[in-house]
Structure 1
Amino acid sequence: MYDLLSGLTLVEVSSFVASPTVGLYCGQFGANVIRVDHVAGGLDYDRYMLTREGRSLSWENLNRTKKSLALDLRSGEGRELAVALAAEAGQMVTNLPVNSFMSHEAVAAKRPDLVSVRIMGWHDGRQAMDFTVHAASGYPLMTGPAEWDAESAPPVNQLLPAWDFITGAYCAFTLLAGLRHRDRSGEGSELRVPLGDVAMGTVANSGAMAEMLYRGADRERLGNAIWGAFGKDFRSRDGKRFMVAALTPKQWGGLIEAFGVSEGIAALETTLGVRFDNDHDRFVHRESLFALFQKAADAFDYETLATRLAKAGATFERYRTMHEAANDPVLVADNPLFGPSPANPSGFHYPVARSFANIPDREAGDPLPAPYLGEHSEQVLAENLGLSSGEIARLIDCGIVRTSDKDNR
């Protein structure tokens, strides 16, 4: 954890993935992030997978570094406290509806220079989630084996909620842009980011939308081949699957050297009347090249071939199950990205990711735990809203405020 955002308090009223990601990333850079939940927990508090003790591992990892304030958000007094907290902080992120009690207007009435970031579904107000947005993007119908029939083949969904995480990262950037504008002008900003626009905008920014309109049709399925370049999965003699990619002359030359196929490449160039010194010809004639490289891979065990690939400067990686990846020392145990397990609410100890960005010559610090629901309720109400101990006790007694659920989960 770094201190680049120290002094910044961010109020988060959110659930699921995209919105909590904003607070997580800001918290990893030193922001004081206060997550406000209903007293029974947000909609994501019990999100699968749960430990035997009933703790969500998803919630635990998306809410590290944060403080937790639990309020009865169905009551008027609980909602007033949430609005007052966001106004006191001056910046908030939420995925509640535009016209909810946490509307920009409601909070800005108390804090005119408020910077709010609101994650929406679609731009026209329709609901959306990562998996429904992905269905609309077109990618699931371009994913799958090349031999699948275009008319009858099923869509293939992405397991990772990538649009959610991209949206969360974009919203962290959006928040900082709003804060930068306020620093220069004194003006607040209401910043709305529809999940669907992140998906469709990314399709456009990648050039894929222009491609579809230019060609007047959909792109064919390619299996694990890389679109527009040379890359595919291969199998070694001992049955290990691995992926290679060649987007530069150096990468292409490294593959040729490691696989020992220079003579085969030359013969294929003569037969086809092409030169494989460019992405276009390598992609167009990919099936012939794939067959040549697979025949070469059949002669090597993976460890031997991996040594040759590394020595030649090729770009490659072996396929792993996620369980294998989690136990891989190079990827996790020996990777400075991961720090020691803090005292997680789940009681389960495992490596925890630090900030993805690192600052050379500056200590990142160990990862912080997620809070228990309501763990910081009293602290936040006293320090941020200036409530007296007597007033806080009244709120707890009447069920408006909940304290830590550490011992009563």
Structure 2
Amino acid sequence: MTPTDKPLAGLRIVEVSSFIASPFAGLTLSQLGAEVIRVDPIGGAADVNRWPLTADGESIYWTGLNRGKRSVEADLRSEAGQEMVQRLVTESGPGGGILLTNQAGRSWMSHTVLSRIRPDVITLEVLGRTDGTPGVDYTVNAGLGFPQITGPVDHAVPVNHVLPAWDLACGLYAALCISAAVRRREQSGVGAHITLPLEDTALSVAGTLGYLTEPQVNEHSRTGTGNDVYGTYGTDFTTADGGRFMIVALTPRHFRDLVDLTGVRDAVDAVEKALGADFRREADRFTHRAVLNGLFEPWFARHSTADVAAVLETASVLSQQYRTFDDVVADGVLADNPMFAELDQPGIGRYLAAGFPAAFEGAHYTTGPAPSLGADTPAE
């Protein structure tokens, strides 16, 4: 597949950014065929040496997020450097005139200034908080409420999640917004000034999923449930040799299979009758999860990890053994998945790199390696 076959071929995006949300948006656009030029200050932005690193000190993080892009260094404090960035953004052509940045507040690359040079310019500014003040995934999450219901139910302090979910969601929204703005520009010839706060991304998702609706309608928010899945039946069990499985029974069929494979049909029927419950309903399975956990747990505790895995493979109940990242790589999952392709990344080495998760006509879009910092800087 050639770059011109990709959906966003012909677009040119200038990315002035660092850390996760904005570079992830650039990577997504690059995977879909856009030419993305990342602009860094001389010596690199604050994330150029961010962990994880190789044994030689190369940033696995930086190269991962900047695959397939071009790299330009500029003295962003000098007039010459600022003018160079302005030229890159506003160069003529139907696919150019697009700026993606999380460096808002710089007047020289504001939408107002750039639109004087190119009226149809599209700018997208990833912000921290809604009011424009700085914020990152972990500070936004701390102020939202999720850490208060994450972790064991008897744990009294907030638990941060290791996945920067709001950064990733914000990056995907940014890529979608730019694609939408390009389509509108093609139809009407107008540019766009888009602001996308990380905090609003989090609030939007939390509101959509009901976390912020509950306190408004029910006058209280949900409490933490540990590893139990909220509102349905799902929890984790430990096997005789220390393996651990996550089990989820979303439907009555899933639940029947779990009851039958653990051999506790009579006990579950008796509990259901005694409690006046109907375990065909998700609400009842969730409400009485502690009793049900106690009935299922002995079966898992009596059987080895291999035996449990073999039985679960034949059942409809949703299940997965807990694994480490090392386990995933060692199991050959990456090599078996066509989304991954071998990449020779200078400074890092050869490894299987993830492409775009959606397949177009059966093919996953991939990019080349990340450039060396400043490799595409124009000659003075």
Shift of 1:235: 0.6
Cα deviations across residues 210-268 of structure 1 (Å, max 9, x unaligned)? 11223323322211010111001111122101101122233223322332332222121
CA 1:360 to 1:255, structure 2 compared with 1: closer, same or farther past 3 Å?
A: farther
Determine helix, strand or coil for the equivalent of 1:320: coil
Partners of 2:56 and 2:255 in 1: CA distance: 51
Confirm or deny: 8 A CA contact 1:352 1:367 kept in the other structure: no
Partners of 2:119 and 2:157 in 1: CA distance: 50
Counterpart pick for 1:243 among 246, 252, 268: 246
C-alpha RMSD of the superposition = 1.6
CA 1:162 to 1:365, structure 2 compared with 1: closer, same or farther past 3 Å?
A: closer
The answer to whether structure 1 residue 20 and structure 2 residue 26 are counterparts is no
TM-score with structure 1 length normalisation? 0.88
Cα deviations across residues 148-181 of structure 1 (Å, max 9, x unaligned)? 3xxxx11100111111011000111111111111
Q: Which residue of 2 aligns with 1:325?
A: 328
Partners of 1:266 and 1:214 in 2: CA distance: 35
Equivalent runs, 1:156-235 vs 2, <5 Å: 156-235=159-238
Partners of 2:315 and 2:119 in 1: CA distance: 60
Counterpart pick for 1:102 among 109, 112, 115: 109
Q: Which residue of 2 aligns with 1:400?
A: none
Q: Which residue of 2 aligns with 1:140?
A: 147
Counterpart pick for 1:41 among 32, 39, 44: 44
Partners of 1:251 and 1:185 in 2: CA distance: 51
Confirm or deny: 8 A CA contact 1:276 1:282 kept in the other structure: yes
Partners of 2:326 and 2:216 in 1: CA distance: 41
Shift of 1:365: 6.0
Determine helix, strand or coil for the equivalent of 2:190: coil
Determine helix, strand or coil for the equivalent of 2:99: strand
Shift of 1:345: 2.7
Please identify, of 88-97 and 262-271, the stretch whose mean Cα deviation from structure 2 is larger: 262-271
Confirm or deny: 8 A CA contact 2:356 2:366 kept in the other structure: no
Confirm or deny: 8 A CA contact 1:257 1:312 kept in the other structure: no
The number of residue pairs the alignment matches comes to 373
Confirm or deny: 8 A CA contact 2:127 2:134 kept in the other structure: yes
Determine helix, strand or coil for the equivalent of 1:309: helix
Please identify, of 94-103 and 11-20, the stretch whose mean Cα deviation from structure 2 is larger: 94-103
Partners of 2:370 and 2:263 in 1: CA distance: 51
Q: Which residue of 2 aligns with 1:334?
A: 336
Partners of 1:188 and 1:290 in 2: CA distance: 56
Shift of 1:121: 1.0
TM-score with structure 2 length normalisation? 0.94
CA 1:365 to 1:277, structure 2 compared with 1: closer, same or farther past 3 Å?
A: closer
Whichever residue aligns with residue 337 of structure 1, its letter is M
Please identify, of 260-269 and 203-212, the stretch whose mean Cα deviation from structure 2 is larger: 260-269
Counterpart pick for 1:127 among 122, 134, 144: 134
Counterpart pick for 1:93 among 90, 93, 100: 100
Partners of 1:251 and 1:214 in 2: CA distance: 31
The answer to whether structure 1 residue 275 and structure 2 residue 275 are counterparts is no
- Structure 2: segments with no counterpart, 5+ residues: none
Shift of 1:272: 1.3
Cα deviations across residues 257-286 of structure 1 (Å, max 9, x unaligned)? 332332222121122121100110001101
